[in-house]
Chains A and B, each alone.
Chain A
């Protein structure tokens, strides 16, 4: 039982990371109907940016106060990753509007390959480990159960919730969010009533990247290691989360992320020998099954194909 609750908390931590990435997939899909295959690699890139900024602050600048370092890493990571995603959208996706159906996806696959190899070439193929941070443990007694929480898990959940609130406010309460939702419903109509569609799409990519950057920093914080190939699996799993929650739906993305995180960690608890290794198969199967039998996910709208 103790172990179960412990794993539940681990699952929620992992799930919040997936959820943050999933929002990027979901928003982009909602607004331009494209699977941004490179988003997982943008996440990986942001983890590298966070790592480097962190090393720069602690090693070169001699900053010893970790919470301040964390805040700076988050802000710098969000800004720099946003520039990356903005550029990617400008160069690789924007010229393709109005091209044939699969062109943006192929371009995104190319971009994904480019990004992971770019990081491999510039940073080297090895794993990049850093010393664990915020590793102090808080013990909580729940009745007669003992639950150990690491500080960093609290930090991750707290940061995620804060980011989600800010993001929610942006989408629901500002004119920017209104423009976004308008473009989501009907791009041409939105353009006719004076919404700058190109700019709105750019901002969508920037917001997706900023959330991915938060996820990237949290990933480095939680696991303390990152490598150039780390974009692929979390990327696919986050996409699974977005699909499971209903692609295009933002609360769906978060719920889907939490579910995938929980399923993944709980799957590893299955005592039968040989089964825990198949946790990735579980995630991929959920993706396939959801797409085949329930393509609109938990909270998504059914898709109507217009001729």
Chain B
């Protein structure tokens, strides 16, 4: 190794050490000690968990070292989007994924029912299918406001709430059916959108965001406190269920199943709900796709890119913003009344700022303005976390430790070999070994098929328990749903830093020049005057 190299390596080591020290400072109180109420006295007690801090420090140290060694630096965000029609693989992808996704969504419930039977499919249709589609619809609705018109709406959940309460109150007090209430709920939400939008849309982008946030919270506080109107925090239960041309999905003589001569099964109702929300979501999608090509849609996109230029070209910015706002609210209201009819119970708890932030995260991570991206983000974020909840092994004490071991080996191997592939293989291998050594789940298998391995594993675990009793204190109570907000927030930040325009979206405008022409700016640059 030459002198310069070793000097550079020393510098990198020093910087990595600084990163580790900063991590130590960050972790010192909040991770090092956990506060818990004592069961007997009710007083707060501190628990000590240094291993977690060490792991975070190691991550920071090796992470920084790897960044320096491999020359990875967080790129400065580039403002200029790629303009023009997508080409090559991207074009093929964008043409094909839409239809494939659509077909998949239509056959998904049928496949699930066929494969798992009516009973087993219930969960997959309900908590995966319907749940995700509600978020897809909300994402598409908010995408009109944020992605197309470039207005950051932090109170979107207010319109969702308006829709939900509109249906609930109309159905309970006036006995109206879901199908009559649905458009009313949407229109009511749109009216609210206009009422709120009218005064605030003059504001600049970030002020607008804060005011919409304030309105969202005002509506929620009113729902909480106006008990006579909304039932307060207790919410409203026993909301009338959805009907199929007047036929109820219930085990009664005049129900849907009996009318068509089928045995009663709860899956029928769920399947119907699934196709209803699929239809609603597709309407939202279609509306925004078509609107994008109308003058109003072009005005939205122009507004997003440059408001001042828009104004100087004679576009009425207030009306343009208002239509986007009202339309987004309309679809939010539709989704809200569907939410109420599906859930059968609503309370202000479902309409907190966190919900707005989740929908916004879906839109941001999907790439603002990209329909496919938003759908994929909703599926990944909402479905992914539902899935994680089911993976039991994640709850084990050792899981984080295994990941930590795998990561450290990955980094170390990478640093030695300067190759991603070797590093990844070594890391995976380490992860696997750590899993074999530490995982309790595999212990039973070893006990039967490989007694020596079992004995070895047990002695390692016993040794760790005896030598490092504080290991137990380190556990961060792994419940994946708790990590949802954590990962959403983190992903939003990373997204803004790395790919502010989204992973999927190339943010191609709906109209563009097909061939290069010299425009005024170029001519000036080249000295034509």
Contact = CB atoms under 8 A, between A and B. Distances in A.
Interface of A: 34-35, 45, 48-49, 51-53, 55-56, 59-60, 80, 83-84, 87, 91-92, 95-96, 98-107, 109-126, 128-131, 232, 236, 239, 274, 277-278, 280-281, 284-285, 287-288, 291-292, 295, 303, 305, 307
Given A107-B493, A110-B488, A292-B200, A99 B46 contact: no
Contacts of B483: 117, 121
A307 B497 contact: no
B246 interface: no
B486 A118 contact: yes
B210 A35 contact: yes
A277 B233 CA distance: 13
Contacts of B496: 92, 96, 99, 103-104, 106-107, 110
Interface string B132-171: 0000000000000000001010100000000000000000
B208 to A, nearest CB: 9
Nearest to A50: B29
B482 A117 contact: yes
27 contacts: A51-B44, A52-B46, A80-B28, A92-B493, A92-B497, A95-B76, A99-B77, A100-B500, A102-B209, A104-B496, A106-B364, A107-B493, A107-B496, A109-B489, A110-B490, A110-B496, A113-B357, A113-B485, A123-B34, A236-B217, A239-B210, A277-B225, A278-B221, A278-B225, A288-B199, A288-B211, A291-B203
A142 B180 CA distance: 65
The 3 closest A-B CB pairs, nearest first, are A110-B492, A114-B489, A113-B489
B26 interface: yes
Contacts of B488: 110, 113
Interface in B1-58: 22, 25-26, 28-31, 33-37, 42-46
B215 interface: yes
A110 B28 CA distance: 23
B321 to A, nearest CB: 14
A307 B489 CA distance: 32
A236 B215 CA distance: 12
Contacts of A34: 206
Contact of B37 (A126, A239, A291): A126
B214 interface: yes
**Majority secondary structure, A binding face:** helix
A55 B44 contact: yes
B77 A117 contact: no
A292 B46 contact: no
Contact of B199 (A99, A236, A292): A292
B497 A236 contact: no
Given A80-B28, A278-B221, A292 B76 contact: no
B492 A113 contact: yes
B57 to A, nearest CB: 14
Given A52-B29, A106-B496, A110-B492, A287 B214 contact: yes
B29 A53 contact: yes
Contacts of B477: 121, 124
Interface in B76-109: 76-77, 79
B218 to A, nearest CB: 5
B214 A288 contact: yes
Given A95-B76, A100-B79, A103-B496, 17 more contacts: A48-B29, A48-B30, A52-B29, A56-B29, A83-B25, A95-B77, A99-B79, A109-B357, A113-B361, A113-B485, A114-B492, A117-B484, A122-B31, A130-B43, A280-B217, A291-B203, A292-B199
Contacts, number: 208
Interface string B205-234: 111011101110110011011000000000
Contacts of A118: 30, 486
B274 interface: no
Nearest to A119: B30
Contacts of A51: 35, 44
Contacts of A49: 29-30
A65 B112 CA distance: 66
Contacts of A45: 30
Nearest to A98: B79
B464 interface: no
B462 interface: no
A95 B74 contact: yes
Given A51-B35, A284-B217, A114 B152 contact: no
B353 interface: yes
Nearest to B365: A110
Interface string B56-74: 0000000000000000001
B308 interface: yes
Contacts of B176: none
Nearest to A82: B25
Nearest to B482: A121
Nearest to A59: B46
A84 B22 CA distance: 9
A125 B476 CA distance: 12
B152 A122 contact: no
Nearest to A84: B26
Contacts of A91: 493, 497
By CB atoms of chain B within 10 A, which of A105, A106, A129, A130 has the most? A106
B205 A101 contact: yes
B31 to A, nearest CB: 5
B485 A117 contact: yes
A249 B222 CA distance: 32
Contact of B77 (A52, A98, A109, A126): A98
By CB atoms of chain B within 10 A, which of A285, A287, A303 has the most? A287
Interface in B173-203: 199-200, 202-203
B455 interface: no
B218 A52 contact: no
A128 B211 contact: no
Contacts of B203: 291-292, 295
A102 B303 CA distance: 13
